[in-house]
Amino acid sequence: MYGGLPEGETRMGKVLQWLDAPFVLRRLMAARQSLADATPLTRDCGSLCGAACCQPEESGDNGMLLLPFEERLYHKPIDGFSYELRPDDTLYKGGWRLVCDGQCPREHRPFACRVFPLRIRIVDAGQEDETSVQAEVDPRAWACCPLPEEGGLRAVRADFIAAVEAAGHLLTGNAYLLEALLNEQRMLDDTRKL
């Protein structure tokens, strides 16, 4: 949807996106805010693993996928946060990935960093605000995070799980954000089958 418009509809599509952007961003920022203080463990889990999920990969092929319009929150420099935005169509055509140097002010973390090592699974895509979601362990977390091996969902705080699901419910009430989450889910489910 976002950026993925047929030739000829591009100009109209861009106008629609421009009109939709404030509504999408409002949802997204509310979802980000609902996770502002939520953490997987009662103590700083980064001290367990040296903040493994924030460490740059040698390949340089790391970074967090941004949700639709989230890149707009990173168009201006942010004090104490060194990052770059790279085009990435994984979640939606015309999407972006934020690549950081491993440190950021907590209040500026992308959505994907706030829910990690969990992710939002769409259980039943219904009408707006009626979609069911569940938090699940992000399969990508197995590569760097000790928590999946420590029991996965059982290893993380119940209020963190609840906050991830509440944020998911906010996101799925918007078609752009729902579409991006569904695309991610299809991609991860396809990878699981391999």
Q: Which residues bind ligand SF4 (CB under 6 A)?
A: 40, 45-46, 48-49, 51-54, 64, 100, 102-104, 109-110, 113, 116-117, 144-147
Nearer to ligand SF4, 54 or 171 (CB): 54
Nearest approach in angstroms of CB 72 to ligand SF4 is 16
Chain centroid to CA 54: 14
CB of 125 to ligand SF4, least distance (A): 27
Shortest CB 169 distance to ligand SF4, Å: 22
Q: 13 or 140, CB closer to ligand SF4?
A: 140
Nearer residue to ligand SF4 within complex by CB, 8 or 87: 87
Four-point Cα dihedral 39, 72, 22, 65, nearest 10: -50
Cβ-based nearer residue to ligand SF4, 24 or 100: 100
Shortest reach from residue 97's CB to ligand SF4, in Å: 11
Most distant CA atoms of the chain, gap in Å: 53
CB neighbours of 98 closer than 8 A, spacing ≥ 6?
Answer: 63, 64, 66, 71, 74, 83, 84, 85, 86, 110
Q: Report, in Å, the least distance between residue 102 CB and ligand SF4.
A: 5
Residue pair 67/180 in contact by the 8 Å Cβ criterion: yes
Q: Is the CB of residue 68 less than 8 Å from the CB of residue 18?
A: no
Give me the DSSP letters along 36-86.
SS--SSSS-THHHHTSGGGSPPTTS---EEPPTTGGGGGSS-BTTB-EEEE
Q: Identify which of residues 1 and 137 has a Cβ nearer to ligand SF4 in the complex.
A: 137
